[in-house]
């Protein structure tokens, strides 16, 4: 291994199969390191700046900034294709000529200083008033845009829409009373702490058919998350998007927190309150693509098609399926914009990390589409100079982005990659040659569960296949396990609960009726699937809001096909609160599962040792971090004195039992029972215990210390 470049030697030490590709990995790391070097030396005085300083100085200088002492407002914008620029708005009665930005430098930056109002001695632009930037283009024409770094954009009222259409309006956000954070960020130790993520969308977080608010989420949903025992929230659809039904993935204004749910100060209060509960808050950040909107987005911002994005002419400028624009990550100013965006959300809103959307699309020139997106796991698909279609510039950007986030938040940063391809080294540290993500989403897991429920009877479930899928992950590259995703909640698909119980959920979930076979099976398997995924599938766990209690309906945002209805764009928490319905049982089990992990911890520990995958009995047994997990998936057979191998001798006790009546079970197990090991090898373990394991029940046992 003497020929392995030093900058990736650590990655090859972790995975020796990377050795033939060490040079490729080295070159990819070198590009990111070179860009970082260029950024650190991009100063006017020849000094060396940190990545953090570069990102922070950028968001503090570009866009609109109010000086509370002098009452001056400074505005800076990058628009290299424009000849002249003017700030217009309510403050100057939309006069197209009165406030011209001067000092266009060689990079295409315009700026203006707007002094205080001489009559009022206050800011010349009132708080929350409407603004736009006007550009004169080389051909003499003019265009109006929302400032690229705008921190607030709002939907126009009905009267404005009649006159100007549905284009979002830029606002000068400068509240006289800014929110003051009261709570410290929770610390997170990547090497030992568990991560239990509650993924949520503010707008749907109400039983009522409407758009819920930040304040409602703070008051009504945060206490639920705390009760359940999650220690992180992942917020979707925060970055402003003009089209609500895009689920937040067609971003128009990258620095503006969505105004649909309230004000920026409301979002700060939400995050601060979560921190007070000891809960990290992660942002679902969309740097993989941008909305094609022109008048209220980045597309064609300065009149060209290639300012922030690859040119449309070359074919790299738009996503073939998403109808969106693709960033030119090799551009220094694009790097500035995106890195500053991350620092902005960390500093201004106190987010604790990011789930990066669309990483697979970013990593490959084919964006994971078509034949190019069929990944077999062959290293040549990722690392061969001839066969791989990796976008080196996008990968380098992701490396630098991870560097920045961990530099800004050394005590709690979490970065998660939404990657289905399994790119090697994605979740290895940057300093050994990896891309630097802390986790990747285990995207094969929900697909497996849905496929099983759609295509196979319980009797035909392959225990070996289930275990293999749950444990098939790269050594020392952590994953976030989840049983179902937000995508599977969308209209056209079904949640796990709906696949299990379907229409019976509308008639048979009441405790006033005898349990039916469909509901009994559905509740039992819903719990088992979640616990098995939680305990075997990864180093962190994620749940999409509502799925913890078996939300009965899909998710469908208001659009032309449903007459703009909000009926399905909501989460029916009222079902959990109704003690006459069985949804409470699933909710209580989810809480017990999270709290059991909190106390005994199996996440973020070495992979489990699976001692049993019995295809006839449908029993799976494994040990992880000293705990013993037993699952009986058999639809009818219960087993008495069933032998389970266990490495460590002693007396074991039950710490979690899915058959409790509180969890919708049948109370068939005496939880006071102690299980003593017998000193005889069984299933390659030094000892065994004998347990009663009823049909469709899961048990977790721990040494009785």
Look-up of token digits 């568990």: 194
> In this structure, is residue 678 part of a structural domain?
yes
Q: Do 164 and 60 lie in a common domain?
A: yes
Q: What is the CATH number of the domain that holds 146?
A: 2.60.40.10
Euclidean distance between CA atoms 553 and 492, whole angstroms: 11
- Quote the pLDDT of residue 387: 83
Q: Do 35 and 63 lie in a common domain?
A: no
Q: Do 20 and 62 lie in a common domain?
A: no
Q: Do 158 and 68 lie in a common domain?
A: yes
Q: Do 42 and 73 lie in a common domain?
A: no
Euclidean distance between CA atoms 622 and 645, whole angstroms: 9
Euclidean distance between CA atoms 217 and 556, whole angstroms: 20
CA distances from 487 to 450, 491, 492 (A): 12, 9, 10
* Cβ neighbours of residue 587 closer than 8 Å, sequence gap 6 or more: 228, 548, 549, 576
- 29-46 mean pLDDT: 94
Task: Please count the structural domains in the chain.
Answer: 3
> In this structure, is residue 590 part of a structural domain?
no
> In this structure, is residue 34 part of a structural domain?
yes
Domain coverage including residue 20: 6-46
The b-or-e profile of 406-440 (16+ CB within 10 A means b, else e) is bebbeebbbbbbbbbbbbbbbbbbbebbbbbbbbb
Euclidean distance between CA atoms 230 and 198, whole angstroms: 6
pLDDT tens-place string over residues 236-258: 999 999 999 999 999 999 999 99
Asked if 51 and 40 count as a contact pair (C-beta separation under 8 A), the reply is yes
**Domain termination site, one of 108, 142, 171:** 171
The b-or-e profile of 681-695 (16+ CB within 10 A means b, else e) is ebeebebbbbbbbbb
CA 201 to chain centre: 11
Q: Do 167 and 59 lie in a common domain?
A: yes
Q: Do 12 and 98 lie in a common domain?
A: no
pLDDT at 164 over 80: no
| Beta strand ranges found along 456-516 (DSSP E) | 479-481
> In this structure, is residue 516 part of a structural domain?
no
pLDDT tens-place string over residues 648-692: 999 999 999 999 999 999 999 999 999 999 999 999 999 999 999
pLDDT tens-place string over residues 573-589: 999 999 999 999 999 99
- Residue 691 C-beta-side C-alpha neighbours within 13 Å: 33
Q: Do 77 and 19 lie in a common domain?
A: no
pLDDT at 163 over 70: no
Euclidean distance between CA atoms 390 and 385, whole angstroms: 9
> Which two structure tokens, joined as six digits, stand for 190?
């990547």
Exposed / middle / buried, residue 529 (Cβ in 10 Å: 0-12, 13-18, 19+): buried
In the beta sheet, which residues pair with residue 284? 355
**Domain termination site, one of 138, 171, 204:** 171
- 388-417 mean pLDDT: 97
> In this structure, is residue 33 part of a structural domain?
yes
Q: Do 37 and 76 lie in a common domain?
A: no
Portion of the chain with pLDDT greater than 70, in percent: 98
Asked if 242 and 296 count as a contact pair (C-beta separation under 8 A), the reply is yes
Element (H, E) at 521: helix 517-536
What is the β-pairing status of strands 479-481 and 439-441?
Answer: parallel
Asked if 506 and 552 count as a contact pair (C-beta separation under 8 A), the reply is yes
C-alpha dihedral sign at 644, 649, 653, 655 = negative
Q: Do 29 and 131 lie in a common domain?
A: no
In the beta sheet, which residues pair with residue 170? 131, 153
pLDDT at 65 over 60: yes
Q: How many residues does the chain have?
A: 705
Helices 22-40 and 51-61: angle between axes, nearest 10 degrees: 50
> In this structure, is residue 332 part of a structural domain?
no
**Domain termination site, one of 140, 171, 202:** 171
> Which two structure tokens, joined as six digits, stand for 50?
């940190």
Asked if 472 and 478 count as a contact pair (C-beta separation under 8 A), the reply is no
- Mean pLDDT rounded to a whole number for the chain: 95
Element (H, E) at 224: helix 222-228
Q: Do 74 and 161 lie in a common domain?
A: yes
Helix (H, G, I), strand (E, B) or coil at 89: strand
Give the angle 541-546-552 at the CA atoms, nearest 5°. 125
Euclidean distance between CA atoms 401 and 399, whole angstroms: 5
Asked if 554 and 568 count as a contact pair (C-beta separation under 8 A), the reply is yes
Q: Do 126 and 32 lie in a common domain?
A: no
Asked if 338 and 370 count as a contact pair (C-beta separation under 8 A), the reply is no
Catalytic positions? 357, 418
> Which two structure tokens, joined as six digits, stand for 411?
């005590």
Which of 3-7, 277-281, 484-488, 698-702 comes out lowest in average pLDDT? Answer: 484-488
- Quote the pLDDT of residue 386: 85
> In this structure, is residue 532 part of a structural domain?
no
**CA torsion angle 221 223 228 234 (round to 10):** 50
> In this structure, is residue 525 part of a structural domain?
no
């Amino acid at each position: 291994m003497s020929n392995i470049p030093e900058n990736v030697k650590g990655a090859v030490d972790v995975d020796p199969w990377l050795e033939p590709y060490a040079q490729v990995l080295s070159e990819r790391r070198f590009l990111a390191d070179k860009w970082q070097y260029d950024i650190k030396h991009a100063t006017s005085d020849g000094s060396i700046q940190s990545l953090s300083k570069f990102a922070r100085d950028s968001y503090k200088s570009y866009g609109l900034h109010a000086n509370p002492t002098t009452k001056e407002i400074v505005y800076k914008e990058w628009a290299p294709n424009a000849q002249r620029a003017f700030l217009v708005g309510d403050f100057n009665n939309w006069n197209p000529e009165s406030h011209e930005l001067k000092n266009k430098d060689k990079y295409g930056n315009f700026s203006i200083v707007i002094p205080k109002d001489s009559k009022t001695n206050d800011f010349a632009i009132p708080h929350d008033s409407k603004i736009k930037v006007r550009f004169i283009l080389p051909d003499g024409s003019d265009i109006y845009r929302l400032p690229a770094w705008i921190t607030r954009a709002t939907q126009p009222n009905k009267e404005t829409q009649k006159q100007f259409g549905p284009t979002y309006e830029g606002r000068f956000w400068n509240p006289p009373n800014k929110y003051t954070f009261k709570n410290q960020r929770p610390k997170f130790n990547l090497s030992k702490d568990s991560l239990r993520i509650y993924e949520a969308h503010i707008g749907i977080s109400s039983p009522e058919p409407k758009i819920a608010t930040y304040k409602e989420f703070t008051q009504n949903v945060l206490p639920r998350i705390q009760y359940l025992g999650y220690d992180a929230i992942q917020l979707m659809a925060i970055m402003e998007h003009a089209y609500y039904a895009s689920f937040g993935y067609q971003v128009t204004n990258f620095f503006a927190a969505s105004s649909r749910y309230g004000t920026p100060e409301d979002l700060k209060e939400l995050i601060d309150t979560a921190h007070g509960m000891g809960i990290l808050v992660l942002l679902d950040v969309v740097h993989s693509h941008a909305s094609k909107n022109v008048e209220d987005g980045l597309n064609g911002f300065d009149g060209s098609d290639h300012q922030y994005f690859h040119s449309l002419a070359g074919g790299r400028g738009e996503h073939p399926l998403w109808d969106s624009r693709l960033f030119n990550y090799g551009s220094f100013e694009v790097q500035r914009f995106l890195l500053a965006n991350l620092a902005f959300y960390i500093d201004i809103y106190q987010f604790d990390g990011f789930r990066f959307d669309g990483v697979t699309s970013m990593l490959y020139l084919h964006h994971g589409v078509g034949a190019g997106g069929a990944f077999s796991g062959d290293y040549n698909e990722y690392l061969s100079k001839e066969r791989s279609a990796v976008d080196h510039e996008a990968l380098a950007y992701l490396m630098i982005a991870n560097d920045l986030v961990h530099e800004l938040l050394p005590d709690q940063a979490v970065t998660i990659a939404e990657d289905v391809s399994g790119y090697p080294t994605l979740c290895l540290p940057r300093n050994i040659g990896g891309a630097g993500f802390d986790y990747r989403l285990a995207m094969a897991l929900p697909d497996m569960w849905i496929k099983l429920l759609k295509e196979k009877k319980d009797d035909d479930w392959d225990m070996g296949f289930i275990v293999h899928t749950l444990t098939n992950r790269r050594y020392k590259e952590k994953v976030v396990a989840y049983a179902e995703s937000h995508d599977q909640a969308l209209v056209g698909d079904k949640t796990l609960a709906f696949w299990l119980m379907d229409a019976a959920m509308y008639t048979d979930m009441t405790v006033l009726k005898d349990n039916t076979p469909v509901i009994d099976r559905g509740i039992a398997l819903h719990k088992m699937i979640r616990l098995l995924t939680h305990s075997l599938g990864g180093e962190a766990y994620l749940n999409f809001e509502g799925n913890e209690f078996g939300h009965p309906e899909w998710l469908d945002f208001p659009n032309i096909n449903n007459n703009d209805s909000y009926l399905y764009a909501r989460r029916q928490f009222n079902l959990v609160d109704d003690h006459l319905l069985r949804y409470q049982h699933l909710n209580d089990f989810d809480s017990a599962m999270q709290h059991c992990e909190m106390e005994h911890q199996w996440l973020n520990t070495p992979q489990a040792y699976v001692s049993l995958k019995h295809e006839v009995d449908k029993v799976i047994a494994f040990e992880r971090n000293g705990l013993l997990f037993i699952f009986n998936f058999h639809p009818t057979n219960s087993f008495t004195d069933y032998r389970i191998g266990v490495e460590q001798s002693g007396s074991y006790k039950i710490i979690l039992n899915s058959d409790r009546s509180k969890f919708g079970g049948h109370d068939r197990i005496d939880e006071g029972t102690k299980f003593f090991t017998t000193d005889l090898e069984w299933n390659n373990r030094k000892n065994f215990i004998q347990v009663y394991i009823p049909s469709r029940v899961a048990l977790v046992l721990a040494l009785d210390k």
